Amino acid sequence: MSISSYYPTRALELLRAGTQNPKAEFRDGQEAAIRHIVEGRGRLLVVEKTGWGKSSVYFIATKLLRENGMGPALLISPLLSLMRNQIEAARRMGVRAATIHSDNVDQWSDIETQARNGEVDILLISPERLANPRFQAEVLGRIGHAVSLLVIDEAHCISDWGHDFRPHYRLIEGIIQGLPSNLRLLATTATANNRVMDDLTDILGSGLTKQRGELGRPSLFLQTIRLPSQAERLAWLAGVLPALPGSGIIYTLTVRDAHRVAEWLLERGISAAAYTGQSGDARIGLEQALLKNEYKALVATTSLGMGFDKPDLAFVIHFQMPGSVVAYYQQVGRAGRALEAAYGVLLSGTEEANINDFFIESAFPSRQEVEQVLAALDRSDSGLSVPALLAHVNASKGRIEKALQLLSLESPAPVVKEGAQWMLTAEPLGEGFWQRAERLTRLRREEQQQMCDYVALESGHMEFLIHALDGEAQGYTPPDLPPLSSTVERSLLDAANQFLRRTGFPLEARKQWPTGGLPQMNVKGKIPEDMQAKEGKFLCHWGSVGWGDDVRKGKYTDGVFSNSLVVEMARVFSEWSPEPAPAWVTCIPSLRHPDLVPDFARRLAARLGLAFHPVIERTDDRPEQKEMANSSKQARNVDGALRITDSTIPDGPVLLIDDMVDSKWTLTVAAYLLKKAGSGEVFPMAIASTTNS
């Protein structure tokens, strides 16, 4: 590939067009990186802090290469759907950028045609596209020979040691090994310690130049505050946010907490919204609103991460402790990129240890899950789809998909996907798979402890992060900002506790039987509307602050639910006031706890002034639903497990009571049987939901 000419004046012109700043100048190292790429000086690894401007480097280099008559660039990035503002900057430079990812499937065909016709300057793809045979043949196969530059964004995702390892990034290693030695290659990341750097050096090949910038963020004032309860942290946010200038991001570990915190802030008159992986098409609008300072804060999971850029973000607050220093450094580093001073505050509470433990323990499938998947595939001559595997493997859909994905990316791979079907190959699963899982699990535990050490700091927070990332902290000076108060107003704390003890959440009925139906009940497909339960209610979330604790104590310590729960359930029922009004009450029985739910339902019925009729009984002893890990298993676990007693079904609508609801199959089957036996409308009501929705 011929050497291209670098024109400094043109590069600066492109930078100013992209940033819309006629006085913009290159940051330290930016111009050197662009020159290195354009002049073809070999492969380059750039490790620079968030906000340094890595996207400017590869977009300007792409434009200069195209103006030198060279082919398009190919960029591989894990979160393309969040790169909207960077792509807009590229277009201002005159760079024709196109993306192919899971959120724009309807545009793939047009984009692929444009790429083949030379109408795209840089094609941005997710790493998952590399596993798609059609994409490899019809797109890469036709433009691959002309590609002048390969960019690997967030390159730490390649490394096993990286905090955010992405399985499909393993495919990049094979691609790199097959590249011509003189093909321009740029890898970028903001989070690579020495261990990741060494790993990337091995993967990216010989002749690699490494450019590593300073890690210190002189505009960022870091602080940690330990507030054990969620009520304390909610109260703290409500007390502090109104006085903070500008807008920012509040990170939570779970989707439920993102919605909960956003709802609380809104009720306190603070403009906020939840941003999660479930936000779907609303994400673009939420991002734009934050960019325009229409929200005081977006309350986000890690879905608002790599790819989002708001230079004047005034604060980043974590509602709970993240699992690693590198993840925290990347997230908190979104604040203060174009400000003299900004806050990065880490709030820490009691629940975060359990949440992070869950993330660590669920990062890899268990041996039992893998054995069940492989055994099920071994019994099938034509392979099995994921929905079919759900009936054979006692694991969630997500766990099965993760197991298949990881197994398929082994080399050699023990499983392969053909269409929608997964099939075994002749290759056994090597022990190296489990050794890697154990090694990385140990690493995640070490990272978790490192974050605990960070939380305990009283000062030197940025220096701690720099050292943890193997950087040099000499000469770092924090901005001149006062620490935020760690105290909580009593009135706000009382209000937060009251907020967390709210009850009465919608319980939507199932409308479809599981794939394959329920053989003992002889039902499948859509549940007839007149045989479905109506929308119901559940009192609280299992394990939540307040009522959730009462439910746990009643079920596992006292063996009886308190009168307080009966009173609160009656209050929720009264506010709900379903129509047509239930005329009687029944409940889901249990052979393990035969008196627990009937006793509660009987007391509730008395308080509501309704008759209680225990017309449902168990046919046999089945495993508890919580032992069933996916919906298909849960549905089949209740198939034939319930029946209506010989007693006459009372007239009128019925209130159907259970203690716990998860998959909703037990309530769905019970409602179907009640309707089949001649009952009126069935309104389900549970004390607690064990789901995170």
Q: What pTM was estimated for this model as a whole?
A: 0.84
336 sits in the region (left: phi over 0; alpha: psi -120 to 50; else beta) called left
Q: What share of the chain is helix, strand, coil (3-state, %, to 5)?
A: 45, 15, 40
Report which listed range, 36-50, 512-526, 597-611, is most confident. 597-611
Please tell me the predicted confidence (pLDDT) of residue 165: 60
Residue 550: enclosing H or E segment and its boundaries?
helix 547-553
CATH number for the region 501-689 comes to 3.40.50.2020
Beta strand 415-418 with 421-424 is antiparallel
Peptide bond into 528 cis (omega under 30): no
* Residue pLDDT, tens place only, 44-102: 999 998 778 899 999 999 999 999 999 999 998 876 655 676 788 889 999 999 888 76
Residue 648 confidence (pLDDT) above 60: yes
Please tell me the predicted confidence (pLDDT) of residue 138: 73
Residue 466 confidence (pLDDT) above 70: yes
* Residue pLDDT, tens place only, 307-355: 677 889 999 999 999 999 988 998 999 999 889 999 999 999 999 999 9
CATH number for the region 364-435 comes to 1.10.10.10
**Angle at the Cα of 51 from the Cα atoms of 50 and 52, rounded to 5 degrees:** 95
The amino acid at 330: Q
CB burial of 473-492 (b: ≥16 within 10 Å; e: otherwise) equals beebebbebeebeeebeeeb
Please tell me the predicted confidence (pLDDT) of residue 163: 53
Please state which of the ranges 105-109, 299-303, 511-515 shows the lowest mean pLDDT.
105-109
**Residue 418: other Cβ atoms inside 10 A:** 10
Please tell me the predicted confidence (pLDDT) of residue 49: 84
Residue 103 confidence (pLDDT) above 90: no
Kindly state the percentage of the chain with pLDDT values over 70: 97
User: Do the Cβ atoms of 414 and 428 come closer than 8 Å?
Assistant: yes
Place of tokens 């097959």: 178
Q: What are residue 97's phi and psi, to 5 degrees?
A: -105, 140
More reliable by pLDDT, 112 or 60? 60
More reliable by pLDDT, 52 or 562? 562
Cα gap 555→562, rounded to integer Å: 10
Cα gap 362→662, rounded to integer Å: 19
Cα gap 575→572, rounded to integer Å: 5
Please tell me the predicted confidence (pLDDT) of residue 81: 57
Please tell me the predicted confidence (pLDDT) of residue 1: 45
Q: Break the chain into its structural domains and give their ranges.
A: 8-212, 220-357+450-498, 364-435, 501-689
Cα gap 671→683, rounded to integer Å: 8
At 154, list the tokens. Answer: 């967030």
More reliable by pLDDT, 364 or 234? 234
Residue 134 confidence (pLDDT) above 50: yes
Residues 6+ apart with CB under 8 A from 480: 341
Please tell me the predicted confidence (pLDDT) of residue 199: 86
User: Do the Cβ atoms of 129 and 99 come closer than 8 Å?
Assistant: no
Please tell me the predicted confidence (pLDDT) of residue 341: 96
Residue 192 confidence (pLDDT) above 90: no
Number of H helices, E strands in the chain: 25, 23
Residue 202 burial by Cβ neighbours in a 10 Å radius (0-12, 13-18, 19+): exposed
pLDDT band at residue 693, thresholds of 50, 70 and 90?
very low
User: Do the Cβ atoms of 619 and 642 come closer than 8 Å?
Assistant: yes
Residue 628 confidence (pLDDT) above 80: yes
**Alpha carbon distance, N-terminus to C-terminus of the chain:** 53
Q: What is the average pLDDT score of the chain? A: 90
Nearest CA among 280, 318, 324, 325 for reference residue 301: 318
Q: Which residues pair with 186 in a beta bridge?
A: 44, 151
Cα gap 672→520, rounded to integer Å: 14
Cα gap 226→260, rounded to integer Å: 20
Residues 6+ apart with CB under 8 A from 149: 37, 58, 61, 62, 65, 73, 74, 183, 184, 185, 186
Q: Which CATH fold topology does 8-212 show?
A: Rossmann fold (3.40.50)
The amino acid at 624: E
Cα gap 124→111, rounded to integer Å: 11
* Residue pLDDT, tens place only, 384-399: 999 999 989 999 898 9
* Residue pLDDT, tens place only, 254-301: 998 999 999 999 999 999 999 998 888 898 899 999 999 999 999 999
Kindly state the percentage of the chain with pLDDT values over 90: 63
Residue 148 confidence (pLDDT) above 50: yes
Please tell me the predicted confidence (pLDDT) of residue 190: 83
Asked whether this chain's domains 364-435 and 501-689 adopt the same fold, the reply is: no
Residue 692 confidence (pLDDT) above 60: no
Given the candidates 3.40.309.10, 3.90.1330.10, 3.30.1360.200, 3.40.50.300, the CATH classification of the domain at 220-357+450-498 is 3.40.50.300
